[in-house]
Structure formats: structure tokens, C-alpha cells
Amino acid sequence: MKRFKHLFKKQFIIYLTFILFGCAYFNTLFNAKESYREGSKKIEASRDGKITPDIRNNFYKTIDKCWNLINLYGDSSEYADDALLLIGKSHYNVEEYVKSERFLNQFILRYVKSELLPEAKLWRARALIKLDKNNEALIQIDEIFQSKVENEIAALALYSKGHLHYLQENYDDALENFRRCIEVTDDEVLAADAQFEIGNIFFIKGDYVNAIGNFTKVRDFEPTLKTDFEANFKKVDAQIKLGQFEPALKVLNSLQRQNQFQDKFSEIEAKIGDIYLHQNKFDNAASQYDYVMEKYPRTEGSANAAYGLARLMEFNFTNIDSAKVLYSKVKREYNKSLVAEEAESRSALLQTYLKFKENIKTDISELLKIEEEDSLIRYSITDSAIVDSQVVDTIETANEKEKGVPQNKKQLRSREQLIKSLDKNKFALAEFFMLNMQNYDSAEIAYTDFINSSEDSLLKPKAYHALDYLYSFIKVDSLRADSIEQIILKNFPESEYATYILQKRVNKIEQEEKLIPEIQSMYHKAEELLENNNFNDALKQFEKIAEIDSGGSWGEKSSYAIAWIYEKKLNKTARAIDAYSFIVKAYPNSKIAIIAQNKIKEPPKEEIKESEDEENMTKDAEKTEEINPPDSDKQNKKSDEKG
């Protein structure tokens, strides 16, 4: 009996110990999950999505508790997979993506039969995206769908896959995944985020009408404050792009009336300045930007205002010194501003520009002084018929005293040195506009000024070559490009640029000969699409031909077809005018250019009776204009038969 009692007591102690330790284990895991949930809630409530020390503390508590469980009970215990998954997710949430990916990968390798395996794969894929391992992340996501998973995991996986395609600029695939995510999920926050991304993709694609509609739909769900604000702000940007300034101001005014966005008021006020700028109300924009910088110093809004005012000074008021100072101010106002890096770069560019301008000014000033001195000497010789060397000495001494420089230390440059320096600085300024600032109008002016003022510089053919590139590829003005090429071939026949032009022309002829059968086939396909009233597909086909055969006869015919479709079939007058204007510029000597010019010229203010000759010429011009796109291959065959 005593033995039985002893055995019973021993078993009871073992059972009690198991219960107590089991409860302790479960309670520790429960507390770890509570810390994780608390940290997640704080991220959702965050206005800017920043990971604060308080948020980090919650996730670090989760990590510590989970490691204690694994170390105490082993990685084969019942809840070890829960603990390791929480560790991986917590490291992700505090932006420690390398650790997150490593621990989640350990989970996937060890717990192959765990019910939590799809979730672990999802979070590992998210960590891989953050580490720019996009292809590996896509493979990991696709593995999730190889087995049946619950809706929320599937929704998160679809969102991540959409984000991956977005990063790779596969926008149609991204849209499909974001839409499927919304259909699958019951999480209103996730649905709002996916809806925002859909709006953002339409914005990037330039479809601002659809962007506005999708940004508006974000509030159909339950967005975080951050997503809600960003959706409205991007909606305003889309409205600005469409010139819908009043609706944009209404959205901003609505945001200002909502206290939850109080810390965003500076950004809202700066955006109002942007609207004034787009309306060409430059004085209003300047006043608004000044107001923001004064009322909301050291904020993202004041940084945006400084940037906006800097651009206003640079491009509208042409006050480069002030623009440079304001660009430099952006980072001091708010160093994490999205425009801080660009502003810093712009400030450095303007500093270089000002240096070039100062060098040119110095060269010209010294040249003028030499001219002035020579003029005085010539006047002295003419007046007295005596060369008085003291005249020169007197002038030079006066100049030295005026500058406060000791006469024996001053080194004056000769006329030849100054001319060489001026040429070098003018050419450098033109290249700076072209390559660094991409300010092509200023580059064109600077190269032209250099060519006109340079006496005999080795840089002259290079300047002509730069203008040739400018007119050929940027301004697409084939007439002026051809004119520049003729100058290079005539005046600098031995230069590398002349060789380049000749080779380019040979290559173009050879390429056109090779492409003729392919382009003919493409043109016939475009015609068939047009005949079948597939106007948008025909338009795309003609655009391909115009790009492939740019400057050639097929490119010319396709360019006219594009303009004609916009005008006659799609009723897009503005697009048609742009297309006809392109023809006039790209094919100035062609018959089609004459037709295009007639399309875009302004109608006469008053009707004037034409003379008989003029009336006949007008009728001839009207006969020349085709109802359909001109010179198709079929039309050429008919003409040949008639001939």
C-alpha cells in the first residue's frame, strides 16, 4: 500500500510538472504573439510608416521570448515552428531583412510538414524583395500556390507578386495580381493598399483619369492614415497633370479640415504653391512657398517649398544665384525629403554653371581691356606720329594700381591665350547644357554662339557634330540636321565627324534595303487593320513602322497615316495636330509636309477673293490631299499600271 501511494505521488508530481511547464510554454508563446500584435498595430497607426524605438521594442520582445522557448524546449517541440516564424517576421518588421530571410529559410528547410509553411514562404519572399533578389522571390511566391492555402495568405502572396511585377515594370501583370488580391482578401487595410497600387500604376502609365478613379476608391476600404493621405495626394498630382486645378485645390482644402492630417499641413500648403506654379501664377507661387518656409520650418513641406521656389527662380525668373541657394536649403530643411537628393545635385550643377559664366565674363573683360589699350596706343601713334612706349607702361601701371596688385606679381594673359580660353569655356558651357543639364534649348544657343564667335578652333567641328545630334535625335528637325551635316562635309572633310556622317548614310541605305520587305509586310498589315476599322491596332502598327524607318519613305507614309487616323477616325484633334506638326518638321521637303502644313495652319481672319491663278493653285492643292493615308503599296501598283 505504501508502495502504491509512493508511485501515485511520483506520477502526480510528473503530471503536475508537465502541466505547469506546458502552461508556462504556452503563456510565453502567447505573450510573444501579443508583443508582435502590439508592434503591428503601432505600424498601422503610424502616420509615416517609420519604425520608432517603441515599435522596435515590441518586436525585440517577441524575438527574445521566442528564442527562450526554442532554447528551453528544443526546436522539435510542439510550438517551435510558431516561435521561429515569429522570429523571422519580427526581424522583417524592424527592417533587418538579412536576418529575416535567413531564419525563414531555416524554417522552410526544417518544418516541411508544418501548417505554417506557406506563411513562412510568403514572408521569406517579402524579405527577398527587400534584398533586391526579385527572381528568387518570384519563385518562392509561386511555390505557395502549388498547394491549397487559406485566403489571407493567398491575398498577401498576390499583393507581393503584384509588387514584384511593379518593380520589374510589368504593369499589366501587376494590375492583375493587385485586383485578385482585393477579390480574395477580407483584410480592409490590405485591400486599400492594393487599390492604391492600382491607382499608382495608372499614374505611371500616364492614364490620369483612371488614376484619379482608383485613388478615390481607396476610401471604399479601411486605409491606414499613411495610405489615405498618399492616395489623396497622388490624386491631386493626377488632377494637376490634367489641368484640373480647382478640383485639386478642393481635395487639399478637405485634407486641411481633417485633424488626423495636421502633421501633413506643411506638405499640403507646399502643394498649393505647386498648383499656382502650374497655373503660371508665378508671383502667387513664390508668396505661397515663402509662407510655407516661414510657418513650417524644418519640415518636409518646407523642403518641398524650397525646392519649388528654387525651380521657379531657375526656370521662370532666371535668377540662378537665388536658385542655387534655395536648392542647397532643401536638405537643411528636411534631409529625408524625397527631393533632397535631386535638389543637392541641381545646386552642384548650377554652381558649375555659374563658374563657367564667371570664367567667360573674366575672359571677355580682359580681352576688352586689351582692345582698349590697343586703341589708346593707336590713337597716340596717329596723333603724334611717335611711338611712345611710356603710354603702354602708364596704362598697365594704372590697371595694376586699380586692382591693388603689385606690378611685379601680376601675370597678364596675351590676346591669343585669352581667345583660346574663351573658346574653351564657351564650348564647355555648351557641353554642360547638353550633357549635364539636358537643357537642349540653352545648349543649342551656346553651341551656335561658340561657332559664330570662335575664330579658328579645333573644337568647331565637334560643336557642329553636337548640333547635328541635337537636331537629329532630340529636336527631330531633319532639315536643320541635314544642313549641319553639309557644313561638316564641306568645311571639315578630313574630320572624324565627316567620316561618321558618311558611314551613317551608307549604313542607313543598307539597313533600309534589308528592311524593305519586312516594312512592306508591316504596312500591308496596318492597312488591313485600318480597313477592318481596328483603328487603335492600326495606329500601333504604323507607329512601329515610323520608328523603324525614321526619315525613310515608309516612315513618312506611316507618320501621315498616324495623323490621319487621329483626325478622321479617333477625332483626337490635339493628337492629330501634334502628328501633322511632326511631319512638317521631320519631312520638310516632302509633298506630304505641304498637306500637313495646310492642316495645322491657322484659318485666315477674313475671306479674301483670290485671283484666277491663286484659285487654280488652291484647287490643285486640294486635289493633292488624299482622303486616305497616301502612297500605300496598293496605290503604288495602281499608279504603275496607269503609267
**Are 305 and 438 members of one domain?**
no
C-beta atoms surrounding 573 within 10 Å: 10
**Are 535 and 456 members of one domain?**
no
Whether the Cβ atoms of residue 478 and residue 472 lie closer than 8 Å to each other = yes
CA 194 to chain centroid: 22
Look at residue 96 in the predicted model and tell me its pLDDT. 96
**Are 315 and 370 members of one domain?**
no
Over 90: is that where the pLDDT of 344 sits?
yes
Of the pLDDT bands very low, low, confident and very high (cuts 50, 70, 90), residue 389 is: very low
Look at residue 511 in the predicted model and tell me its pLDDT. 74
Whether the Cβ atoms of residue 59 and residue 39 lie closer than 8 Å to each other = yes
3 state SS of 587: coil
Tens-digit pLDDT profile for residues 146-181: 888 999 999 999 999 999 999 999 999 999 999 999
> What percent of the chain shows pLDDT beyond 70?
84
Whether the Cβ atoms of residue 567 and residue 599 lie closer than 8 Å to each other = yes
Orientation of helix 415-431 relative to helix 460-469, angle to 10°: 20
> Residue 553 is part of a domain; what is its CATH number?
1.25.40.10
CA dihedral 233, 234, 238, 240 (to 10 degrees): 30
Spatial distance between the Cα atoms of 468 and 498, rounded to a whole number of angstroms: 11
Nearest to 124 by CA among 115, 109, 113, 114: 109
Spatial distance between the Cα atoms of 359 and 346, rounded to a whole number of angstroms: 20
From 503, 531, 551, give the residue that closes a domain. 503
Of the pLDDT bands very low, low, confident and very high (cuts 50, 70, 90), residue 420 is: very high
**Are 432 and 359 members of one domain?**
yes
Look at residue 505 in the predicted model and tell me its pLDDT. 86
**Are 515 and 578 members of one domain?**
yes
**Are 523 and 596 members of one domain?**
yes
The angle subtended at Cα 273 by Cα 268 and Cα 277, nearest 5°, is 140
Whether the Cβ atoms of residue 624 and residue 591 lie closer than 8 Å to each other = yes
3 state SS of 32: helix
Backbone angles phi, psi at 606, to 5 degrees: -140, 150
Tens-digit pLDDT profile for residues 232-244: 999 999 999 999 9
Over 60: is that where the pLDDT of 382 sits?
no
Tens-digit pLDDT profile for residues 531-578: 888 888 889 889 988 888 877 888 889 999 999 999 898 888 888 898
**Are 356 and 491 members of one domain?**
yes
Domains of the chain: total: 3
Of the pLDDT bands very low, low, confident and very high (cuts 50, 70, 90), residue 346 is: very high
Is residue 212 domain-resident?
A: no
C-beta atoms surrounding 264 within 10 Å: 24
Dihedral sign for Cα 450, 456, 458, 462, please.
Answer: positive
Backbone angles phi, psi at 51, to 5 degrees: -90, 100
Helix H, strand E, coil C: the string for 180-202 is HHHHHCCCHHHHHHHHHHHHHHH
What domain range includes position 400?
A: 350-503
For residue 580, give the C-alpha cell: 501633322
Is residue 107 domain-resident?
A: no
**Are 384 and 267 members of one domain?**
no
Is residue 79 domain-resident?
A: no
Tens-digit pLDDT profile for residues 114-151: 999 999 999 999 999 999 999 999 999 999 998 889 99
From 284, 317, 338, give the residue that closes a domain. 338
CA 356 to chain centroid: 28
Spatial distance between the Cα atoms of 217 and 30, rounded to a whole number of angstroms: 37
Where is average pLDDT lowest: 94-108, 130-144, 403-417, 505-519? Answer: 403-417
Over 70: is that where the pLDDT of 41 sits?
yes
Is residue 310 domain-resident?
A: yes
Look at residue 406 in the predicted model and tell me its pLDDT. 52
Look at residue 408 in the predicted model and tell me its pLDDT. 47
Whether the Cβ atoms of residue 635 and residue 627 lie closer than 8 Å to each other = no
Of the pLDDT bands very low, low, confident and very high (cuts 50, 70, 90), residue 92 is: very high
> How would you label 133-146 residue by residue, b for 16+ Cβ within 10 Å and e otherwise?
bbeebbebbebbee
Please give the average per-residue pLDDT across 422-446, as a whole number.
94
Is residue 541 domain-resident?
A: yes
Tens-digit pLDDT profile for residues 270-324: 999 999 999 999 999 999 999 999 999 999 999 999 999 999 999 999 999 999 9
**Are 429 and 567 members of one domain?**
no
Is residue 97 domain-resident?
A: no
Residue 343, classified by CB atoms within 10 Å of its CB into exposed (0-12), middle (13-18) or buried (19+), is buried
**Are 432 and 386 members of one domain?**
yes
Is residue 77 domain-resident?
A: no
3 state SS of 213: helix
Look at residue 619 in the predicted model and tell me its pLDDT. 46
Spatial distance between the Cα atoms of 215 and 209, rounded to a whole number of angstroms: 10
Dihedral sign for Cα 76, 78, 84, 87, please.
Answer: negative
Look at residue 395 in the predicted model and tell me its pLDDT. 43
**Are 357 and 481 members of one domain?**
yes
Spatial distance between the Cα atoms of 90 and 477, rounded to a whole number of angstroms: 58
Q: What is the mean pLDDT of the chain?
A: 85
Which of left, alpha, beta for 177 (phi over 0: left; psi -120 to 50: alpha)?
alpha
Of the pLDDT bands very low, low, confident and very high (cuts 50, 70, 90), residue 79 is: confident
Is residue 113 domain-resident?
A: no
Higher pLDDT, 608 or 468: 468
**Are 301 and 440 members of one domain?**
no
Over 90: is that where the pLDDT of 326 sits?
yes
Spatial distance between the Cα atoms of 327 and 337, rounded to a whole number of angstroms: 12
From 463, 479, 503, give the residue that closes a domain. 503
